[in-house]
Structures are given as C-alpha cells and as structure tokens.
C-alpha cells in the first residue's frame, strides 16, 4: 500500500482544476497598513494589500496594540487552560460583557474563532431542540454548513435571500415543529445584504428561531458597530447574533450573543467551546479595546465607506467588471480560475498589489473573481494605482471588461464622474 500516493493524487486533482491554493508570505507593517513585506524566492518586497479583512485597520490601532501588550506583560501569553479549567481570564469576562452590550443581548459567549462559534453553536442549538428543522440560506459560510451538518438535524436549503422560498418551507413544516433559520447579514463574496426584516417577520409568523452571522458587518455598520441588525433596528427580534473579532475588530476570536438561557446551554453543551483552550487574555483585552473604540468612533466607518465607494466608482469608470455590491466589498469578475490566478500573480509580481484570487468552491465556477476590500487607509492615490494596475493586467491577459467595455480614457488622473453605473456581474 503506497499511502503517500493518495495524498499526491488529491493535490494533483486541485492543480488540474486550477484551484490549488498558494499562500503569500506576508509581514504586515504596523503603522503603515495596508503596506506589507512580501517574501518570495528569497526576495523581500514592500507591497500593498488589497484583500485584507482587517476592514478598518484596527489591527494596527495604537490603543489596541497597547492593550494587547499591557495584558501580555501582566498576564502572560496564553490562557493556561480551557474555560472550565483555569482559562477564564478577567479580560475574557469583560469581553463577553462588552459583546452582550454591543448587541443589546442578555449574554455573550466567546470562542477561539468565528468558524468555531458557528460550528459549535449551530450544531448545539439545533441538537438541543427536539426534531429541529434547520432552514439554511444556500450561500451560507462553510462554518455554518458544518454546524448544521454536525447537528444531525434535518435541513432544508432556501434559495439565496429568497423569502418566498423560505416561507414555503416554513409553511410546510408548520407552526408546531421546532425550526431554526440560519443566515448571514452581509454575504462576503458578493457583498449583498439579506432581507433581514422580512426573514424576521416570517420567523415570528411561523414561530421559528433565528441565527444570524454578522461576521462581515460587526464594527462596520450601525451607529455603534453592532452590525446590520443594529443599523436596521432589528437586533432585538433576532434570537442569536454571531460575529467575529478577527475582521473589523482586528484581533482573533468569535462569539454569539442571545438570551441567558441559550448562551448558558451552548456554554454547557458545545464540545467546540468546552474542550479547547480559552482565548488568551491579551487578545481579549485588545478585542475589548477595539470594540469600545468603534462603539464611539464613526471616523473609521465613514472613511472606509468613502474609500469603498470611490474604489467602486474608479474601477467601474475604467470599464472593469465591478460586480454589484451593497456593501464595502468590491468584487471584480474574472470568470475563469486560470485567468483569476494569473491576474493575481501579475498584480503582485509586476505591480506590488496583493489581491488573492477567489475560486471555486468559495464561489460558483464561472464567477471566479478578485475580491477587493478597501479600508480607511487605502488612499485616493492607492486607488488610482490599483486602477492602473488592474487595467494593465486586464489588457495583458485579455480578461473581458464589463458589458460597457473599456472606455477610451483609462488613465487614473482623469475626472471621475460622481455616479457611475456598475457593469458586469
Ligand atoms: C470569516 C467568516 C467566518 C469565520 O470567522 P473567523 O473568525 O475568521 O473564524 C464566519 N462566517 C463568515 C461569513 C465568514 O466570512
């Protein structure tokens, strides 16, 4: 038996499908975000990162770094144990209070990542409900799909953001059966937003529980960074709000918030919460500092929103196939895995611009794309450089432009019209 052969074949398969993943070796430079040092073939080069989920640059905020350093200096590097066995540090307790307050819920529970929070919470909640039917949006994140799968509960998938389809499934299940609707607020690959109010209306009408993933929205939307549910005044009508500390909050960890009973049950029954070491106190302290800052400060959200809008306008005006997006995420369609990888390689190697290609299975085949995430630190000059680099790359590789085609003028110094219709998608 040649065991190694099976692993080699599995990898060959990915190469053949042009979706073998290559990681960029990066060193982020605190104080110079989004600049980073990229190491490749023995060389080190300073580049611009255009695909980070550190959406507001909070990972380099001086107060956040100071809180991290101070807590590490006082309490050491690790948590020293699981939550149950010596790992519940005071900064972690404070973080959970902060998160419950952020979403105006009775309680919160922190996990070691957003992935773990979804997998552990959805599986535990659906398992504790008798004969639960899980209704899951078809574009839900892998972590939610894993949670549903592990629950062992029956599941029905509703078409993406399709409330009529969801209603027909709720109706068929009837009011008496336990039902859990799991969905996201911001879908991160397309940048669209769920019809949360309509979903909540349906949940109330058909007596279902609701679980929303606000991972891409916390810190970003709502007057205190409480997400789309805060912005739309719907947080109190959602049963469980889940989020991450690793994207806009710039640190690490995931969490759920909800009633004391739900949180206590997950705390008490979820293996993914119980049998793993707690988040280190330094990370908890840094996360709390970041959340508190974004509760008070609009400056980061305003600047981010401005730069995202400008990026969309500038790229669309150059005829690039910017996909329709209701949020801060700027997807640019390539539509082919090989070209998408080549475009990414060229942007990095020739232009010093890093945008990871997004291929199947993260997005459907034929919709391979570059997913661009502008932050407050992506200046107008960086946006102009991005436009020039993308146009050069599109031309060099013969990637199709949007339906409107490429306008005759493509230099970044020309006047940008205020409202440019988005093309392609
Ligand atoms: C990134 C992501 C997660 C996982 O969060 P991590 O903290 O990175 O583990 C969960 N849900 C969605 C929708 C995500 O995009």
Q: How far apart are CA 269 and CA 259, in angstroms?
A: 16
For the Cβ of 246 lying below 6 angstroms from any atom of ligand 1, the answer is: yes
Q: Pairing mode, if any, of strands 35-40 and 25-28? A: antiparallel
In this structure, what DSSP letter does residue 103 have?
A: T
What are the pLDDT digits (tens) for 64-79?
Answer: 999 999 999 999 999 9
For the Cβ of 114 lying below 6 angstroms from any atom of ligand 1, the answer is: yes
Q: How far does CA 123 lie from the centroid of its chain?
A: 20
Q: How far apart are CA 115 and CA 120, in angstroms?
A: 8
Q: How far apart are CA 301 and CA 188, in angstroms?
A: 17
411: annotated active-site residue: no
For the Cβ of 141 lying below 6 angstroms from any atom of ligand 1, the answer is: yes
Nearest partner of 208 among 182, 235, 242, 236, judged by Cα: 182
For the Cβ of 254 lying below 6 angstroms from any atom of ligand 1, the answer is: yes
- 91 φψ region: left (φ > 0), alpha (ψ -120 to 50), beta (else): alpha
Residue with tokens 């339906």: 403
For the Cβ of 137 lying below 6 angstroms from any atom of ligand 1, the answer is: no
Q: How far is the CA of 215 from the centre of ligand 1 (A)?
A: 6
Q: How far is the CA of 134 from the centre of ligand 1 (A)?
A: 20
Measure CA of the first residue to CA of the last residue in the chain; give whole Å: 48
Which atom from ligand 1 is nearest to the alpha carbon of 246? 7
Residue 171, φ and ψ in degrees, nearest 5: -60, -45
CA distances from 281 to 72, 95, 100, 422 (A): 7, 10, 18, 45
Sheet holding 353-354, edge to edge: 25-28, 35-40, 43-49, 353-354
pLDDT given at position 403: 61
- 70 φψ region: left (φ > 0), alpha (ψ -120 to 50), beta (else): alpha
Joined tokens for residue 421: 């219709």
For the Cβ of 374 lying below 6 angstroms from any atom of ligand 1, the answer is: no
Q: How far is the CA of 390 from the centre of ligand 1 (A)?
A: 28
Is 155 strand, coil or helix?
strand
Q: How far is the CA of 39 from the centre of ligand 1 (A)?
A: 26
Report the sign of the C-alpha dihedral through residues 306, 327, 61, 387, in that order: negative
What are the pLDDT digits (tens) for 294-322?
Answer: 999 999 999 999 999 999 999 999 999 99
Q: How far is the CA of 114 from the centre of ligand 1 (A)?
A: 5
pLDDT given at position 236: 98
CA distances from 77 to 91, 282, 283 (A): 13, 7, 9
For the residues of 307-318, what is the DSSP string, one character each?
HHHHHHHHHHHT
Question: If 0-12 CB within 10 Å is exposed, 13-18 middle and 19+ buried, where does residue 279 land?
Answer: buried
Q: Pairing mode, if any, of strands 133-137 and 179-184? A: parallel
Query: Residue 216: which residues within 8 A CB-CB, separation 6 or more?
Result: 53, 184, 185, 186, 187, 188, 247, 327, 329
Q: What is the mean pLDDT of the chain?
A: 94
> HSE (CB half, 13 Å, CA atoms) of 220?
33
Answer whether 333's CB lies under 8 Å from 369's CB: yes
Please name the residue whose Cα sits nearest to atom 5 of ligand 1.
Answer: 114
Q: How far apart are CA 191 and CA 308, in angstroms?
A: 12
Which residue in 179, 247, 341, 422 is the catalytic one? 247
pLDDT given at position 420: 33
Q: Which of 140, 141, 255 to mutate to test the pocket of ligand 1 (most atoms within 8 A of CB)?
A: 141
For the Cβ of 251 lying below 6 angstroms from any atom of ligand 1, the answer is: no
Walk me through the domains of the chain, giving residue ranges and CATH numbers: 45-59+300-397 (3.90.1150.10), 61-295 (3.40.640.10)
Kindly list the averaged pLDDT for each block of 10 residues, start to end, along the chain of length 425: 97 91 95 97 97 98 98 98 98 98 98 98 98 97 98 98 98 97 96 97 98 98 98 98 98 98 98 98 98 98 97 97 94 95 97 95 92 98 98 97 54 36 33
pLDDT given at position 404: 45
Q: How far apart are CA 86 and CA 82, in angstroms?
A: 6
pLDDT given at position 17: 86
């Amino acid at each position: 038996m040649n065991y190694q052969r099976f692993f080699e074949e599995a990898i060959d398969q990915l190469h053949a499908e042009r979706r073998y993943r290559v990681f960029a070796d990066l060193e982020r430079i605190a104080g110079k975000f989004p600049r980073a040092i990229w190491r490749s073939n023995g060389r080190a080069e300073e580049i611009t990162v255009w695909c980070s989920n550190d959406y507001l640059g909070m990972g380099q905020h001086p107060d956040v770094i100071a809180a991290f350093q101070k807590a590490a200096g006082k309490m050491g590097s690790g948590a020293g144990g699981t939550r149950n066995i010596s790992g519940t540090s005071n900064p972690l307790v404070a973080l959970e209070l902060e998160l419950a307050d952020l979403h105006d819920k009775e309680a919160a529970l922190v996990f070691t990542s957003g992935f773990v929070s979804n997998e552990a919470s959805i599986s535990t909640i659906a398992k504790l409900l008798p004969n639960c039917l899980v209704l899951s949006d078809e574009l839900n994140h892998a972590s939610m799909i894993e949670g549903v799968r592990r629950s062992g509960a029956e599941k029905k998938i509703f078409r993406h953001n399709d409330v009529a389809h969801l209603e027909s499934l709720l109706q068929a299940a009837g009011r008496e059966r336990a039902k859990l609707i799991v969905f996201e607020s911001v879908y991160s690959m397309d940048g669209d937003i769920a019809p949360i109010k309509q979903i909540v209306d349906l949940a109330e009408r058909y007596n279902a529980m609701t679980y929303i993933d606000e991972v891409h929205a916390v810190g970003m939307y709502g007057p205190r960074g409480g997400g789309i549910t805060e912005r739309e005044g719907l947080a109190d009508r959602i049963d469980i709000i889940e989020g991450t500390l690793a994207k806009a909050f710039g640190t690490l960890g995931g969490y759920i918030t909800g009633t004391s009973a739900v949180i206590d049950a997950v705390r008490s029954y979820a293996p993914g919460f119980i049998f793993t070491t707690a988040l280190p106190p330094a990370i908890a302290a840094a996360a709390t500092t970041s959340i508190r800052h974004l509760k008070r400060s609009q400056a980061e959200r305003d600047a981010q929103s401005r730069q995202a809008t400008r990026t969309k306008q500038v790229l669309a005006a150059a005829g690039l196939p910017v996909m329709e997006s209701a949020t801060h995420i700027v997807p640019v369609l390539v539509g082919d895995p090989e070209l998408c990888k080549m475009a990414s390689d060229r942007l990095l190697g020739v232009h010093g611009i890093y945008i990871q290609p997004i291929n199947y299975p993260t997005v459907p085949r034929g919709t391979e794309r570059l997913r661009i995430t502008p932050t407050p630190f992506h200046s107008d000059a960086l946006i102009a450089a991005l436009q020039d680099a993308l146009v050069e790359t599109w031309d060099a590789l013969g990637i199709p432009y949007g339906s409107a085609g490429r306008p005759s003028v493509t230099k970044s110094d020309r006047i940008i019209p205020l409202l440019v219709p988005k093309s392609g998608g």
